[in-house]
Amino acid sequence: MKINRLIDHTLLKPEASREQILKLCEEARNHHFFSVCINPFNVQYAVSYLQGCDVRVCTVIGFPLGANTTEAKVFETKQAIKEGAHEIDMVINIGAIKNKDWDYVKQDIKAVVNAAESRIVKVILETCLLNDVEKIKACEMAAQAGARFVKTSTGFSTSGAILEDVQLMKRNILPTMEVKASGGIKDLASAKAFIAAGATRLGTSSGIAIVNGFEAEKGSY
């Protein structure tokens, strides 16, 4: 598999304009990235523009803090699916993790999984805010709730993905689950390192630089 099919081409800045979203979609289409990852406001536009090509539309739920109510996350998810989103990246309830309210954490994820109606759900742990015990338990909750992926970061907190977290997450999910590394992946060397650590999807705004480096090496995965 070429590295482009591991990339979620990402633009989540609140000031992103329609022109910038169009450019993101054009780049994703030209480079055959797996998806564009955008805010819910832009889903309908991206779905319309990308209709008929192999690029999926991924959106974020409860973003970037995860502190929304479950009901709000469910509403956001249903609206995104209605507008054509193919994948959902939801932020876990970090405060509930700190409270050790694991039933709430699991039910919050499960409600979004159910609302997504069989679409892929990725659970953003925001690993920079959690200790290792909390990361492991969060992975267990995501597995029990039926999520397909766990994801490292929103890109809006104190740091992005680190290799050790990807390795830890990979060890503590079901064999049927996957890991998405996101935040700070800016070049081919870092992309390769995260793939070697166990990531099967990369959230990045630097996809073109990564692919250009990859093509120069004539590589494949």
Three-state DSSP at 161 gives coil
User: Which of the residues 8, 89, 108, 165 is marked catalytic?
Assistant: 89
The whole-chain average pLDDT of the chain stands at 97
Q: What is the predicted pLDDT for the residue at 219?
A: 61
Strand pairing category for 120-124 and 178-182: unpaired
Residue-wise pLDDT for 169-216, tens only, equals: 999 999 999 999 999 999 999 999 999 999 999 999 999 999 999 888
Are 6 and 200 spatial neighbours (Cβ–Cβ below 8 Å)? yes
What is the tens place of the pLDDT at every residue in 108-117?
Answer: 999 999 999 9
> From the CA atom positions of the chain, what is the Rg in Å?
16
- 115-171: per-residue pLDDT in tens? 999 999 999 999 999 999 999 999 999 999 999 999 999 999 999 999 999 999 999
Active-site pick, 73, 135, 137, 151: 151
Query: What per-residue confidence (pLDDT) applies to 1?
Result: 63
**Catalytic residue among 122, 135, 137, 180, which?**
180
Task: Supply φ then ψ for residue 156, to 5 degrees.
Answer: -115, 5
207: Cβ contacts below 8 Å, ≥ 6 apart: 4, 7, 9, 27, 28, 31, 33
Confidence of residue 220 (pLDDT cuts 50, 70, 90): low
Question: Taking 90 as the threshold, does the pLDDT of residue 2 lie above it?
Answer: no
3-217 belongs to CATH 3.40.50.620? no
pTM here is 0.96
Distance, in Å, from the CA atom of 89 to the CA atom of 116, rounded to the nearest integer, reads 11
**Known active-site residue 151:** yes
The answer to whether 102 and 141 are in contact (CB under 8 A) is yes
Quick one: tokens of 51? 């209709």
Residue pLDDT, tens place only, 84-110: 999 999 999 999 999 999 999 999 999
Under 8 Å between Cβ of 122 and 180: yes
Q: Is 180 a catalytic residue?
A: yes
